[in-house]
Amino acid sequence: MPTKQRYPVINGIKRCSKCLLEKPVGDFYFAARKVPLPSCKTCCKAAVRQYEKRNPEKKAYAVTRKYYHKYYYGLDHGAYEVMLAKQNFVCAICKSTKSRRGKDEHFCIDHCHSTGKVRGLLCHHCNMAIGFFRDDPEILRVAAEYLEAQLVIDSSSEGGLKAFVGTEVDVNDGERGLFTKGPGF
């Protein structure tokens, strides 16, 4: 099988190996090593549409996802399924059965960015949260302490009304009130 011709990037311009047009590097998808793929985005999308047309029973994204898991994390589909079963088919952090915005999609593979070691499977929200906290447990602990310090529990109400300090809530038969007292105030 002949290999695809790879064209170098020169002054931010690269030639697509399929359409042979010269395009800005921004018109190419990038591999993990920050190297542009040989085909431009337009040709990649056309190839996916062609594949889906030839194979209507298969979804190209599912095939791509399996390849992605293997290529980036060393997980074949069976290993992914075993991890998911060990977690009882829920997010390792919040225990949600939904992986993303209420949809039943695949869970994100959480991994250490410095070692590449896979840690577990997370829903979209937990995966993003860990990323925003820069995978730093100390920052996460401080954030949890911050939230807990701001939370006020009114023991006089049935079930313990919870609200954050400074938020307006309904108290005492429909009267509006503002929680102003909390730990540290």
- Nearest 5°: phi and psi at 28? -120, 145
Structure tokens at 85: 């079963």
Amino acid found at 97: T
Task: Convert the pLDDT of each residue in 145-169 to its tens digit.
Answer: 988 888 766 555 555 556 555 555 5
Structure tokens at 1: 């099988």
- For the chain, where do the domains classified as CATH 3.30.60.130 start and end? 10-57
DSSP category for residue 110 = E
Decide if pLDDT at 173 tops 50. Answer: no
> Where would I find the H helices in the chain?
41-54, 60-73, 77-86, 124-132, 137-150
Q: Are 99 and 107 in contact (CB under 8 A)?
A: yes
Cα–Cα distances in angstroms (integers) from residue 181 to residues 144, 160, 177, in the given order: 19, 15, 12
| Count of Cβ atoms closer than 10 Å to residue 17 Cβ | 16
Instruction: Work out the average pLDDT over 64-90.
Output: 85
Task: Convert the pLDDT of each residue in 20-43 to its tens digit.
Answer: 999 999 899 887 667 888 899 999
- For the chain, where do the domains classified as CATH 3.40.1800.10 start and end? 59-135
Q: Which CATH superfamily is domain 59-135 in?
A: His-Me finger endonucleases (3.40.1800.10)
**What angle do the packed helices 41-54 and 60-73 form, to 10 degrees?**
120
Predicted TM-score (pTM) of this structure? 0.52
Q: Which helix (H) or strand (E) holds 98?
A: none
* pLDDT tier for residue 184 given thresholds of 50, 70 and 90: very low
Q: Are 144 and 128 in contact (CB under 8 A)?
A: no
* pLDDT tier for residue 102 given thresholds of 50, 70 and 90: low
Note the pLDDT of residue 1: 45
Mean pLDDT score of the chain: 78
The fold adopted by the segment(s) 10-57 is Wheat Germ Agglutinin (Isolectin 2); domain 1 (3.30.60)
